[in-house]
């Protein structure tokens, strides 16, 4: 059974996380994705670890391997007119182009929607940029950390009782993943419109806005109440916090009143729990400095798994702090078949995080591992675009591909 997007051809010009993740989501649902990289060095993700075996190697980057499954890879120097002309031949047969070239780079090489639209009126072109394609910060330099910060997420995290310590970024490349996920949603919307007869169009995605859209209550506290949320200030509702058990860490989570009451039962109804300062979720937020040590004392004597299952038996949404080993060894994830086995010619065999959704008729599947740099040049330039072997050789010699 082919995936739901198996009729789509997508060209990706992606670096690092945002555009590659958007194109990966489509490739994993069956779309044919061709990834275009710079000749020589390729996607910068290839220089980032973790590397299979530990030593840096452009074909063994875990970041690259994770983000580029199911894609074929070619190399084109888009800054050369001949390179761009070959690229346009690819676009003329594509349904979508997803890229994250910087806006100034787009200007420099003439990477324009109007031009591509004339060539292929059905083409959906998605431009993902840290600050979008307009506005005073359009050309600001950005790394994942700076956009996660500028989108308002980073300020919310850090040590609750140590305001002297800086705000703390989340692991990895979360701005990139959010830019990518939102780009996938928007691109899919435009492709759905095209399937119903709309013309191709230009979709613009701002990574900063993708972060600013998801910061929960932090957005509206200012316009609604003239307040800002901070990493160290009181949280409205408690407990929503990490505690140390005798054998590991657990996340205690009581959002609703019935969850707190059930947790109090799990604790054996200690006397302090009936005190008036803890009898309602907002009061527990305000009085959390008094509550936390009491909880820490009791939870500190429990084992993680025992408390987790006892709480869940009463529908209290506690969760263990999983290590990566806990995930790979989870019986639940195994029963769902979450991890899949991937064999990569240079990085070897390993388990790979699988489908984030199960579509009953049209499955998610890994059909091929991430490509080596330029792995599909001959196949795509030759058999698919019809260039002759000596033309390809000349292009290669002149570093156009």
Partner 1 sequence: MPTNNAPLAGIRVADFTWVWAGPYCTMQLAHMGADVIRVESATRLCVSRVTPPWFGGQFGVNRSGYFNQYNLGKRSITLNLKHPRAREAALRIALKCDVVINNFAAGVMDRLGLGYRDLVRLRPDIIGVSLSGYGDTGPLRSYVAYGPAQVPLSGMSALTGYRGWPPMHVGFSYGDPNAGSHAAFAIIAALYHRERTGEGQYIDMSQWECTMALIGEGILDYTMNGHQPERDGSRDPLMAPHGLFRCRDMAEPIAGRPVDMWTAIAVADDAGFARLAAAIGRPELATDGRFATLAARKRNEDELEAIITEWTSTRFAAEAAETLQRAGVAAAVCATGRDLSEDPHLNQRGFFVTPEHAEIGRAKQAGIPWRMSGTPCSVRSAAPTLGQHTDEVLREIAGYSDAEIAAMRAADALK
Question: Nearest to residue 340, comparing CAs of 328, 325, 322?
Answer: 328
Only segment of 70-78, 288-296, 330-338, 388-396 that touches partner 1 (CB under 8 A)? 330-338
Only segment of 71-79, 99-107, 252-260, 392-400 that touches partner 1 (CB under 8 A)? 252-260
Select the residue interacting with partner 1 from 102, 362, 372, 394 (CB under 8 A).
Answer: 362
Check binding of 120 to partner 1 (CB under 8 A). Answer: no
Check binding of 329 to partner 1 (CB under 8 A). Answer: no
Check binding of 141 to partner 1 (CB under 8 A). Answer: yes
Select the residue interacting with partner 1 from 273, 316, 380, 401 (CB under 8 A).
Answer: 316
- Name residues contacting partner 1, limited to 19-48 (CB under 8 A): 25, 29, 47-48
HSE value, Cβ hemisphere, 13 Å, CA-based, for 4 = 14
Q: How far apart are alpha carbons 401 and 373 in whole angstroms?
A: 11
Select the residue interacting with partner 1 from 108, 115, 246, 336 (CB under 8 A).
Answer: 336
State which residue, 89 or 169, has the beta carbon closest to partner 1.
169
Select the residue interacting with partner 1 from 41, 92, 305, 312 (CB under 8 A).
Answer: 312
234 is written with which tokens?
Answer: 């009181």
CB of 276 to partner 1, least distance (A): 20
Q: Tell me, residue by residue from 159 to 188, as one string, x for binding to partner 1 by CB under 8 A and - for no binding.
A: x---x-xxxxxxxx-x--xx--xxxxxx-x
Q: Which residues, 6+ apart, have CB-to-CB distance to 28 below 8 Å? A: 3, 69, 70, 355, 364, 365, 366
Q: How far apart are alpha carbons 214 and 226 in whole angstroms?
A: 19
CB of 183 to partner 1, least distance (A): 7
CB-based burial, 322-351: b 16+ in 10 Å, e otherwise: eeeeeeeeeeeeeeeebbeebebeebeeee
Q: How far apart are alpha carbons 373 and 188 in whole angstroms?
A: 27
Only segment of 99-107, 210-218, 269-277, 390-398 that touches partner 1 (CB under 8 A)? 210-218
Select the residue interacting with partner 1 from 223, 268, 345, 386 (CB under 8 A).
Answer: 223
Query: For 176, left (φ over 0), alpha (ψ -120 to 50), or beta?
Result: alpha
CB of 193 to partner 1, least distance (A): 4
Select the residue interacting with partner 1 from 134, 269, 303, 305 (CB under 8 A).
Answer: 134
Number of residues that bind partner 1 (CB under 8 A): 151
HSE value, Cβ hemisphere, 13 Å, CA-based, for 6 = 11
Select the residue interacting with partner 1 from 116, 260, 278, 352 (CB under 8 A).
Answer: 352
Check binding of 261 to partner 1 (CB under 8 A). Answer: no
CB of 260 to partner 1, least distance (A): 13
Only segment of 216-224, 270-278, 291-299, 390-398 that touches partner 1 (CB under 8 A)? 216-224
> Is the separation of the CB atoms in 347 and 52 below 8 Å?
yes
In the numeric block, the tokens 């084109």 are attached to 76
Q: How far apart are alpha carbons 39 and 49 in whole angstroms?
A: 20
State which residue, 77 or 144, has the beta carbon closest to partner 1.
144
Only segment of 76-84, 266-274, 294-302, 312-320 that touches partner 1 (CB under 8 A)? 312-320
> Is the separation of the CB atoms in 324 and 352 below 8 Å?
no
CB of 206 to partner 1, least distance (A): 6
The single-letter DSSP state of residue 93 is: T
97 is written with which tokens?
Answer: 């182009």
Check binding of 291 to partner 1 (CB under 8 A). Answer: no
Select the residue interacting with partner 1 from 106, 319, 366, 385 (CB under 8 A).
Answer: 319
Q: How far apart are alpha carbons 352 and 340 in whole angstroms?
A: 5
The single-letter DSSP state of residue 280 is: S
Query: For 110, left (φ over 0), alpha (ψ -120 to 50), or beta?
Result: left
Check binding of 52 to partner 1 (CB under 8 A). Answer: yes
Q: How far apart are alpha carbons 309 and 319 in whole angstroms?
A: 9
Please count the residues of the chain: 401
């Amino acid at each position: 059974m082919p995936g739901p997007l198996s009729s789509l051809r997508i060209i990706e010009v992606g670096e690092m996380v945002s555009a590659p993740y958007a194109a990966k989501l489509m490739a994993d649902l069956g779309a044919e994705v061709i990834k275009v990289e710079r000749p020589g060095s390729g996607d910068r993700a290839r220089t980032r670890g973790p590397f299979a075996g530990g030593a840096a190697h452009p074909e063994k980057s875990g970041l690259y391997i994770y983000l580029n499954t199911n894609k074929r890879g070619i190399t084109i120097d888009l800054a050369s007119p001949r390179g761009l002309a070959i690229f346009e031949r690819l676009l003329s047969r594509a349904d979508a182009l997803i890229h994250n070239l910087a806006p100034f780079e787009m200007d420099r090489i003439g990477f324009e929607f109007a031009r591509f639209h004339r060539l292929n009126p059905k083409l959906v072109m998605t431009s993902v940029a840290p600050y979008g394609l307009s506005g005073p910060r359009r050309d600001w330099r950005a790394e994942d950390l700076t956009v996660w910060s500028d989108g308002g997420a980073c300020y919310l995290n850090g040590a609750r009782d140590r305001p002297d310590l800086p705000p703390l970024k989340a692991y990895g490349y979360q701005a990139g993943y959010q830019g990518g996920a939102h780009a996938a949603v928007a691109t899919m919307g435009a492709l759905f419109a095209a399937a119903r007869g709309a013309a191709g169009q230009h979709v613009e995605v701002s990574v900063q806005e993708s972060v600013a859209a998801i910061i929960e209550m932090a957005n509206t506290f200012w316009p609604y109440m003239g307040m800002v949320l901070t990493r160290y200030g009181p949280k409205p509702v408690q407990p929503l916090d990490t505690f140390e058990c005798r054998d590991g860490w657990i996340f205690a989570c009581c959002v609703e009143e019935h969850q707190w009451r059930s947790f109090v039962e799990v604790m054996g109804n200690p006397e302090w729990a009936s005190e008036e300062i803890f009898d309602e979720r907002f009061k527990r937020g305000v009085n959390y400095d008094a509550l936390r040590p009491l909880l820490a004392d009791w939870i500190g004597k429990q084992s993680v798994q025992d408390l987790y299952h006892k709480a869940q038996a009463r529908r209290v949404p506690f969760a263990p702090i999983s290590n990566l080993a806990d995930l790979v060894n989870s019986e639940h994830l195994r029963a769902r078949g979450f991890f899949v086995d991937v064999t990569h010619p240079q990085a070897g065999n390993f388990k790979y995080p699988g489908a984030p959704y199960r579509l009953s008729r049209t499955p998610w599947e890994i059909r091929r591992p991430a490509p080596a740099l330029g792995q599909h040049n001959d196949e795509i330039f030759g058999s698919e675009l019809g260039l002759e072997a000596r033309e390809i050789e000349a292009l290669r010699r002149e570093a156009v591909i």
